[in-house]
Amino acid sequence: MKTDPTSTSRRIFVGGASGLLMAAAVSSEAASPAFSAQGARAEAAPPNPVTEYPRPPLPEQKQPWPGLQSKMNPRPDSGEKSYKGSGRLAGRKALITGGDSGIGRAAAIAYAREGADVAINYLPAEEPDAREVVEYIRAAGRHAVAIPGDIKSEEFCRKLVEQAVRELGGLDILVNNAARQVSQDSLLDISTAQFDETFKTNVYAMFWITKAALAHMKPGAAIINTASINAYDPSENIVDYASTKGAIMIFTKALAKQLAPKGIRVNAVAPGPFWTPLQVTGGQPTEDLPEFGKETPMGRPGQPAELAGIYVLLASPESSYSTGQVFAAVGGRGGP
């Protein structure tokens, strides 16, 4: 059988005339000074992830719980300026806890720019940050629902889901993200009240909210839980927090098996050291904050914007065969 010498060109440039036009355009651009020797636009070169974001030393700082992202220095990047959507979640309805700041904020902005309507939950003290997120969602042309309240209450968790479903017109993406973290050098310093608050915020609320949400979720829906590197490589100064993150990881894997036959996927994201209000409100010793993230191979903490794409992927049909998985973003220290 004879090989057509033009077959490769035909596969790349569909149609004779259009192929010639495209070839001419490529030749013209390749001759431009904006192109490197490899033929790629110099301005399109990807940023260096090691130097793209702030590196230690970071300013020492402290805020009362729950803290505000808008008062952090440097202010975390949740993708406010950088995230560009492409309709990957068009028409979806999402509820995100802790959606006012940090990782939840990054997910909320990304979801809206991908075409989803978004409800965010947060504590009343976080209203200034939440108002900013609402404006970002609306600027993307999507419906925003702001629901302040304390998820340590089972009754509120039920009402949270009911209001989100009512105002969004349904629910097919749930992100359990809100968390409590308090650094203590010794187990003897962890009070029963702290232990209870940490578990109720991180584990009980996830259980209550997910249980309420399942009544409204149909095949194709996605649940995404925020675990942590501490689920499998715990730090010695956050024993109670690390224990909750281990519980979240196992909850995710078990529930994924239970819901797979129903067409509902359950996954988790396990971040490493990320620059969020959690750290400056007692999550880390104040004196250690200047070096936060320095121990990673990248030598810096992660920024919430660097997780947005993972949360979008796990919510979208593109990851339809992924369930019961834990996706790490830890700056090079290894994953689950």
* Catalytic sites, residue numbers: 241
User: 92, exposed or middle or buried, with CB in 10 Å at 0-12, 13-18, 19+?
Assistant: buried
Query: For tokens 């050291």, what's the residue?
Result: 273
Whole-angstrom CA distances from 190 to 117, 240, 280 are 39, 8, 19
Question: What angle, 0 to 180 degrees and rounded to 10, lies between the N-to-C axes of helices 154-168 and 205-214?
Answer: 40
**Partners of 122 in the beta sheet?**
148
DSSP string computed for 175-189: EE--------SSGGG
The amino acid at 217 = M
- d(C-alpha 204, C-alpha 82), whole Å: 34
- Tokens 């999507």 belong to 142
